Structures are given as C-alpha cells and as structure tokens.
Amino acid sequence: MSSSVQRKRVRKSPEARRAEIVETAARVALTEGLECVTLRRIADELAVRPGLISHYFPSAEDLVGEAFSVASTGELDALLPADRPHGTPTQYLARYFALSAGDAYDDISRLWINARHLSRYRPVLRDRVAEQELASDDRLEGLIREGVERGEFRTDDPRTTAIHILVVLDGLGAHANTDRSNRPEAVTRMAVTTAERELGLAYGALTEVTPLAEPAGVETEAADADEPAEADQPVDTAGAPEPT
C-alpha cells in the first residue's frame, strides 16, 4: 500500500522574509531600474501574493528607497570596505579605482543616475540618496585620513579631497549608458589622475601599485553553494501576513 509524505511548510521569520524582499527589490533595481520595483513585481519574483509584500512595505515608495539603500551600501562595501586589515591605504585606493572603472560597475552607475533623477519627485528616495552620498563621502574621507596619518597621502582637507574625487567619478559614471570605446585614456583615468594630484602622489602611483591580495576565506561562499537553498522548500503563497 503506497503512502505519501506531506512536506512540512517552512515559514520564514519576519526578519528573514523582510530581508528577502529587500534583496530581491535591490536586484531588480540594479538590473532593470527603480521604476520596476513595485509590490506586485517583487511578489511575482518571490512567488507570493502582493499582500505579503505590502505587510512589510505598505508603500511602494518605502520599498524603492530601501532597495536603493541596500544596493548602494553593498556597492560601497565591495568597492571600499569599512574594515581594511589586508593592505595599505594606497593599495585600497588603487583597488577602489580599478573596480569602479570596470564594466561591472556600470549597473551601479545606472542605478545612481536613475535614483538621482527619480528623487526629484520622490521625497523618500531623495532622503535615501542623500544618506548614501554622505556615506560615500565619509568612507572615502576615512581612507584618505588614514593615508595622511601613515604618511602615504598629503592633503590639508581630506573631506574636500574625497568629495572632489567622487564628483569626478560621478561625472564619468554619468556616461554609463553611452559608448565609451573611443574615449581617450586621459579621460578614462581622470578620477585616478585627480586623486594622484590631490593626494600628492606621482603619476601612476595608483595604477602601478602592487595588487591587493584577497583576504583569506573568500572561497567559503562557493563551498556554501552546495547546501540546499531555502528556495527549494514549499513556497508560502498565503495572502495573510506572516506572524510578527
């Protein structure tokens, strides 16, 4: 006599569900634009009903703002970690420019273009853009101050120098949607040249520096990939909000 075993439904905690919603919204924002972050679209991505998304984010504007914050914070942490125990300020700054000049950086550049445009009409997003701009200013200023203290950089005003560099990077990033194949080398390295000049470094100091080695343990994510994903569990499609 055959028997069937009913799989137990896995109900995520409110914290885990909210994080999943925000991460999904951030991915959609990066790949398709903030306009595509709607309650229904994120519900479709997660195979749940829109009521579940609205339980955590009653307003789509709140979800859009959170998605932008998560995406831009992830970008900043990847480009310029807050904790930098594996190299010198010069090496971390060189790494920052190398990563921000690559094709992979175009998605985040497009996201910033998108967010700044939409923030003109969306107060919640406007506040998030201002917060993330301040965070970028603070993070780069901190690296520059560390470099000055260690005698690697020379500047009397690390804050102004950081903003100067970021303005040039933003200007270059504004061309993420255009063909740059014929861009002169002097323009391509404009942000690097600006940093070298403002920090009292010789030309090439940020492009010829010894590459920063990746910290030990970075391969752990690949090992974790073999573990069963939570997405393989039965999907909760109930329209009622999950317990908080």
Residues 143 and 120: their CA atoms lie apart, in Å, by 31
Residues 198 and 108: their CA atoms lie apart, in Å, by 25
pLDDT at 162 over 60: yes
**Which of the four pLDDT bands, split at 50, 70 and 90, describes residue 213?**
low
pLDDT at 217 over 60: no
Which residue in 121, 124, 127, 116 sits closest to 33, CA to CA? 116
Residues 192 and 189: their CA atoms lie apart, in Å, by 5
pLDDT at 231 over 60: no
Residues 22 and 43: their CA atoms lie apart, in Å, by 11
| 37-86 per-position pLDDT tens digit | 999 999 999 999 999 999 999 999 999 999 999 999 999 999 999 998 88
Alpha helices in the chain (DSSP H): 14-32, 39-46, 50-56, 60-79, 89-100, 106-118, 123-149, 158-173, 185-188, 190-198, 220-224
**Which of the four pLDDT bands, split at 50, 70 and 90, describes residue 105?**
confident
pLDDT at 27 over 50: yes
In terms of C-beta distances under 8 Å and separation of at least 24 residues, what long-range contacts does 31-36 make, across chains too?
31/107, 33/110, 33/111, 33/114, 34/64, 34/67, 34/68, 34/111, 34/114, 34/115, 34/118, 34/125, 35/114, 35/118
C-alpha distances in Å from residue 89, one per residue of 128, 143, 150, 202: 28, 6, 8, 15
Task: Tokens 């010069």: give the residue.
Answer: 90
Alpha helices in 33-122 (DSSP H): 39-46, 50-56, 60-79, 89-100, 106-118
